[in-house]
Chain A
Amino acid sequence: MNNSIEIKNLDLEFGSVKVLKNLNLEIGKGEFLVLLGSSGCGKSTLLNCIAGLLDVSAGQIHINDKNVTWAEPSERGIGMVFQSYALYPQMTVEGNLSFGLKNAKLPKADIAKRVKRASEVLQIEPLLKRKPAALSGGQRQRVAIGRALVRDVDVFLFDEPLSNLDAKLRADLRVEIKRLHQKLKNTMVYVTHDQIEAMTLADRIAIMREGQIMQLGSPDDIYGRPVNKYVADFIGSPSMNFLDGVIQNGAFTVGDLTIPLTGYEFVSGSAVDGPTTMGIRPEHVLTGELVDNAPVQIDVDVELIEPTGSDKLIDCQLAGHDFRVRMDGQAQVFAGEKLRLGVDPSRASLFDVATELRL
């Protein structure tokens, strides 16, 4: 078996509320899996179940081919990092790192060796004698990661570890976590609601909603071929544009606009007639000189421009729908002017209106 964690038919209920519904998930050895979803989707709950901090209502959890469904958190071979760091305030950094090892009754020399190694990896050696209150947010989170590191386990669980940090520090620590993963090659399960974190860190992303996994796949897959409208809308910032129309004779029609679907890969292999929603990412709309090569070309009125420095976001109306386009930050566009857009149907996504599933 090559799986580090296997979750089989997992249910979790709080009273009458089903938080996790018949969930199955296999995580490979050394894989970095990100659980992504909006708040209340059950992603942290799933992580707590894997850690053994919550008793499951039904189903099994296997870690390293051992059924740990009834095992204590400390017996599961996991290390966990929490959002609020959860450092023991009355202990020094060294005490925090060695607390778990002391509980496991390891020999003193062994503990010292492991603490030394972990503090070297995370570059927190100068902080060992300090209390958590005397550390900055980034340092605290490093110590929290160190506490998982010293346990010498195969599986790391991260529960929104960077949410309490400011934007700059978050980007720095994100890179560090990725480096750490490349170095240690542990299995990591990472919960977040930040899609940038998810996209940059993950080998695979699991998008969760209402206790179920909507889509499990590589970041490219999730971004390029979302399985349903929810995932399409959730991933990507600014979010995808949706046009409600119909497919007739292999072409998509919305209002007075018709887009031929040549080049679009249908899930079923061929075009299906019927009411359809087309999704186009703002960054996939062609502008400037590229428009000339696009299969479909449309003229729109520019309503509003939001410059972000690197990009300009253009708000306009397309066939009666709000439509956003991402352009280069240097592009010369002005509100009220005409703009020529190009659409490439091979990069769009089509969803059935009723089921919201990808066509």
Chain B
Amino acid sequence: MVEASATALDGPQGPKPRKVFSRRNIFLYGTLFVIAIYYALPLYVMIVTSLKGMPEIRLGNIFAPPVEVTFEPWVKAWSQACTGLTCNGLSTGFWNSVQITIPSVILSIIIASVNGYALANWKFKGSDVFFTILIFGAFIPYQVMLYPIVILLREIGLYGSLSGLVLVHTIFGMPILTLLFRNYFTSLPEELFKAARVDGAKFWGIYFRIMVPMSLPIFTVAVILQVTGIWNDFLFGVVYSGPESYPMTVSLNNIVNSSQGVKEYNVNMAATILTGLVPLTIYFVSGRMFVRGIAAGAVKG
């Protein structure tokens, strides 16, 4: 054993002391504060405005908190606001959006994850070409395909229906989701797949018993991407659905952009917040999983 020296040390020792109000800290936190305000202020204005009555709004001070808090605009936005001829508020659009989003998210993720798994682990003849074509699909502007798909949906009798929209969303989610799943499955250790084959597991056995249980983070990412993407979609909603099947975003647009009568800012604000609530909830609930999934490529099993 080497004896520890008992003499006291002179000069700098241990951690280097740091100033709290250094120039670096002031700059860093100052910038963060400004950016936080930049993003939070519009949300504040929206919430405050939606809780005011119309007379109070006409005073013109958009930053002032409401003197008389009223939930009237929220109720109106949900169930009474007029879109065109009907006055059902956003509720119809909300349920349409739910009926569109849930099946499209589930369908597209199931298909894309199997696609990605096959492309990553069961290379077949031409699989690379297939993958390239699929990825190329992600770069084609939607506008190019709008009208051909109208004809396609009309021919198979799904134009203007919810199922038609589900089909469109499922197909358009395919390139990016397949890429996501393929890259994730490729990052899983290959020996795991080999071991499962030696253990006698087949295509579906390996998929369900080995791959899926290891892929919770990437499934979360896919769910978030799809739910927000499909929920926020406006273009497909407005083109491929009829007044009966308008998704929530289209209803919102119709309420906010109605050119008759008085502009009810408080109702508009409430309606907008209501529409954004679903993606917002998803982010809050699964934020941590999302980050883990995005960084999953660096994590070893």
Contacts and interface: CB of A to CB of B under 8 A. Distances in A.
Binding partners A and B: yes
Interface of A: 48, 51-53, 72-74, 78-80, 82-84, 86-90, 99-100, 103-104, 147, 151, 159
B194 A86 contact: yes
A100 B197 CA distance: 9
A103 B195 CA distance: 13
Of listed A52, A99, A151, residue having the most chain B CB within 10 A: A99
B-side interface size class: 10 to 19
Given A86-B195, A88-B195, 11 more contacts: A51-B194, A53-B194, A53-B197, A53-B198, A73-B200, A74-B201, A87-B195, A88-B192, A89-B301, A103-B205, A147-B199
Contacts of A104: 200
A53, A78, A87, A147 — most chain B CB neighbours (10 Å): A53
Given A80-B198, A104-B200, A90 B191 contact: no
Contact of A74 (B189, B192, B197, B210): B197
Contact of A86 (B191, B200, B213): B191
B4 to A, nearest CB: 27
A90 B201 contact: no
Interface string B202-233: 00010001100110000000000000000000
A99 B189 contact: no
B210 A88 contact: yes
A224 B149 CA distance: 76
B191 A99 contact: no
B205 A82 contact: no
A53, A82, A87, A88 interface centre (most CB from chain B within 10 Å): A88
B213 A74 contact: no
Contact of B214 (A78, A83, A90): A90
B191 A74 contact: no
Contacts of A84: 189, 191
B191 A82 contact: yes
7 contacts: A51-B198, A80-B194, A86-B189, A87-B195, A88-B195, A90-B214, A103-B201
Count chain A CB atoms within 10 A of each CB in B191, B192, B197 and give the residue with the most.
Answer: B191
Contacts of A89: 214, 301
A151 B198 CA distance: 10
B198 A100 contact: yes
A300 B229 CA distance: 79
B194 A74 contact: no
A105 to B, nearest CB: 9
Contacts of B199: 74, 99-100, 103, 147, 151
B197 A73 contact: yes
Contacts of B213: 90
A195 to B, nearest CB: 24
Given A88-B210, A90-B213, A147 B195 contact: yes
A61 to B, nearest CB: 15
A124 B195 CA distance: 20
B88 to A, nearest CB: 47
A225 B195 CA distance: 38
Nearest to A148: B198
A73 B198 contact: yes
Contacts of B198: 51, 53, 73-74, 78-80, 100
A145 B291 CA distance: 36
B196 interface: yes
A36 B62 CA distance: 78
A86 B201 CA distance: 14
Contacts of B201: 74, 99, 103
Contacts of A78: 198
Nearest first, the 10 A-B pairs at minimum CB distance are A74-B200, A100-B199, A103-B200, A86-B191, A86-B195, A90-B213, A82-B191, A73-B198, A80-B198, A86-B192
A152 to B, nearest CB: 13
A330 to B, nearest CB: 26
B111 to A, nearest CB: 23
A207 B189 CA distance: 28
Interface in B167-208: 189, 191-192, 194-201, 205
A72 B199 CA distance: 10
A133 to B, nearest CB: 9
Contact of A82 (B195, B200, B210, B301): B195
Nearest to A95: B209
Nearest to B200: A74
A80 B198 CA distance: 7
A210 B191 CA distance: 23
A125 to B, nearest CB: 21
Nearest to B193: A86
Contacts of B205: 103
A334 to B, nearest CB: 28
A256 B100 CA distance: 91
A265 B214 CA distance: 60
A325 to B, nearest CB: 34
A103 B209 CA distance: 11
Contacts of A80: 194-195, 198
A103 B205 CA distance: 9
B206 to A, nearest CB: 10
Contacts of A103: 199-201, 205
